[in-house]
Amino acid sequence: MINLNLTQLRYFVTIAESRSLNQAARKLNRTASTLSYQLAGLEKTLGQKLFKRIGRRLELTPFGAIVLEEAETLIGVAEAGSERLGFLSQGGEHRIRLAVSDLIAPERVVDLLAASSKHHRLTEFIWTTEVLMGAWDALASRRSDLALGVTIQAAPPGDWRLHLLGTVEFLFVTARDHPLAKAPEPLTPEVVRHHRAVAAADSSRGLAAQSFGILPGQPLLRVPNQHVKRLAILAGLGIGHLPRHLIQKDLAQGLLVTRRATHSPKEATELYLAHPAEDPLAASRPALSALIEEILARSGDHFWFT
């Protein structure tokens, strides 16, 4: 393996840009002989000439042109890495991982991260979308630092801090031309279970998976999340419960029909922000603490669901 010297690569790039040892030496505040020595060392390491002299100018060889492109990339990576290590050495946050329920409007999470990134530009953010118990599972297994959109009833064992984000109302809906769209209400389980249900598959890896609004013996179509579930119901592939905020336009346009069903939830579902009680507010994680405060400041009036 070739051991490259970053100083030599920087000198080489400046010489290539200047096309002159003397001009490059002035830019770098070095002597021309120093640059010549370093260039010779780089050529010896690579085993090929990087320049050819044409009159008073230095021109890159074909191999030199390739090395220039690679050298600029390597220098850029090294400078970015150096900046990030300096940031981390001063107490900067390395990484923040968010497990976000598919019930949360993704536009709101984008807004949140856009605001947070301005103050924590070198912090890496990882956002995963989870379904049902998936967000709790990510938090419990330490795959995430925060979980947005979990229900308090499903909380796994552990010391959690919970903050209410808002409530979501689930409606039982069908496509406008589905057989149940005009069936007498209330729809009973005996009537509903003969029709295919569309269900968002639980993304939990370790915790027991859950289902929502599915009747025993009912045929199923399992899909990745609520957004795909909406599309499937719109297409007449099945029926099911969807959050009101996700289908408001569909209802207004008459593309989906709400039906009163006896197995529908009677109350809105409360969704919470959850995180381990001991971690985020520690002095060692100021960016995470600031992110939690930003989330709480944005909560209320269905902010996360519109």
In contact, 96 and 125? CB cutoff 8 Å: yes
Confidence at residue 22, expressed as pLDDT on a 0 to 100 scale = 92
Confidence at residue 95, expressed as pLDDT on a 0 to 100 scale = 83
pTM score: 0.76
Confidence at residue 142, expressed as pLDDT on a 0 to 100 scale = 93
134 CB-near residues (< 8 Å, 6+ apart): 99, 101, 202, 203, 204, 205
CA separation for the pair 172, 79 (Å, rounded): 55
Structural domains in the chain?
Answer: 6-89 (1.10.10.10), 95-167+270-305 (3.40.190.10), 170-267 (3.40.190.290)
Q: What is the mean pLDDT of each run of 10 residues along the chain (306 residues)?
A: 87 92 92 92 92 90 93 87 74 85 95 82 89 96 96 92 94 97 95 96 94 92 97 97 96 97 92 83 73 88 82
Tell me the two tokens of residue 62: 């074909």
| DSSP 8-state symbol, 20 | S
Q: How far is CA 125 from CA 119, 144, 222, in A?
A: 13, 11, 29
